[in-house]
Structure 1
Amino acid sequence: MAYAGRPFPPEVTDNRALWELDAHNINALFGAALNGNRASIGLPPVANVRDYVIGAKPWLATDPVMDPWRGMPDLDVIQTGAWILPDFNPLSTELVAFLDAGTPPVYVGFGSMPMHASTDVAQVAIEAIRSQGRRAVVARGWADLSLIDDRDDCFVVGEVNQQALFARVAAVVHHGGQGTTTTATRAGASQVVVPQAADQPYWAGRVADLRIGVAHDGPTPTTESLSAALGTALAYETRARATAVAGRIRTDGATLAATRLLDMVGQGVRHRRA
């Protein structure tokens, strides 16, 4: 991804060329601070900050279906799958009662994204969801979403077990963070991704490429644009595809990573003893 104030040249699209530009940007942004601190404790300077951080054999903690590793000759990558543990926290009694009281609702939440200040995102989202004949579960998040009236077709949540909730919704409207995208995909929920920053446009594109939802065009939805996206996400074909893809997502990424780590530690102990 590009850093603020350091956009990639629009004419450069080759992934390897962008990778080299990324290394240059990271050196420029963080090299002086890292090497200044290293020098203060007697360590030699690091020539390539990114390669120093990533290492020669990095682990890629993403799902291979959602994020297939395209390969680079100088990186020996181990893709483990996403590091997500089962969440056994129960949904609240009130939320369960809401879910049981009607057809599966649409979840809308943007996690740690504050969203665009000039737009009443809750108003836009709820009106778009209602236009599709659906109820809504609204997650407050950093955007501080709230209900817009006292109708009984909407329910607001704070911290919630997304694994349990997403298994019971018709679609998930979200910002496109890796964790939320992976959780929604594993649950078999179709998605509308409204990306805001960083890696979120990438995950929005992957949702669209997999045909398990829609990548919203731009970070600021309107009632009309979000309603149109929801119409596609709620279509039978999209929901069926989301269900099919869910069965291909790894659930053992954290276990695989922990097992590999313990094996590496064990090998190190054996080598020292030898």
Structure 2
Amino acid sequence: MAENIDLPDKLRILTVGDGDFSCSLALMRAYPLLIQQLVATSLLRSEKDVVEIYPQASNIIQSLSSFDNIEIIYGVDATKLHKNLDLSEFEFDCVMFHHPHLGYDDNVSKEETEQENVPSKGTQSNEIQAASNLSKRHECLLTHYMCSSKLLLNMNKASKMKKYDAKNLLPCIHLCLCASSIENWNVLEVVNQVGLQFAWESPTAAASPLLSFYEKLRELKIKSNYQMDDLQINPNIEKRLKECKRAKRKGHWLGRYGYRHQATFPNSTHFGNFAISNSYHIFLTQKVHMQCSTCHVCGHTF
């Protein structure tokens, strides 16, 4: 029996840890008719600070200003979104975090990072920096980001339906990670610990999956009859994510709209479209009756 889907006309999106804001601009260029509002944020305190680290950001910020439905907010920590007063006035359908990192990779020591004065991307949390090793710090970063996003989105109000459809795909939490990070940062365990579930995964060579899925839903809504099974997502997401490290993918689809992942690793000469040739989008939704109150890595309470 067909079931009606109540869809918002457009989506309200929050991007965090976007570096030079090229991802936010690429999203607007790729999906101008599907985004009602996009709030782009940076951990850095001002436009001046952003441009100092990412000189190309000056032109990007100017391009963003041409859109009426974009707002830029500085000084936003991706692990403390629910505490940010500037964000409290908004209601979002999705929080998006592309390639989160702490300013160093798993092969660089914390001491080397501090000597290079490398900027972290998205957070300066003391609890995260104190974690036992670099992989654990990134695991802690993801945990705090997910827990904070859940509180910001009030995901406890999301549908408890077992099937993935518009009613429990939104609101959702997004991650875009290099394939190796999915294993190294223990992403599958983090998702289970914080009370989320996988709703969608896709290589970044494909179009942005949330917006593509949203387009599909709108097409189905136009039809007079359809089955909810038409909307069910691949049930083997976790298995696919475990295997994706072996897959060879093309570059990020948003690259054609100007997205350039800006690496900030110490001593890196790859300051451009870097480390995104084999990465994945992951979208997460609320698991029934699951709360996220304590980080399993550092013990921080939300």
TM-score (norm 1): 0.33
Q: Whose RCO is larger (CA < 8 A, sep 6+)?
A: 2
Please identify which structure carries the higher helix content.
1
TM-score (norm 2): 0.31
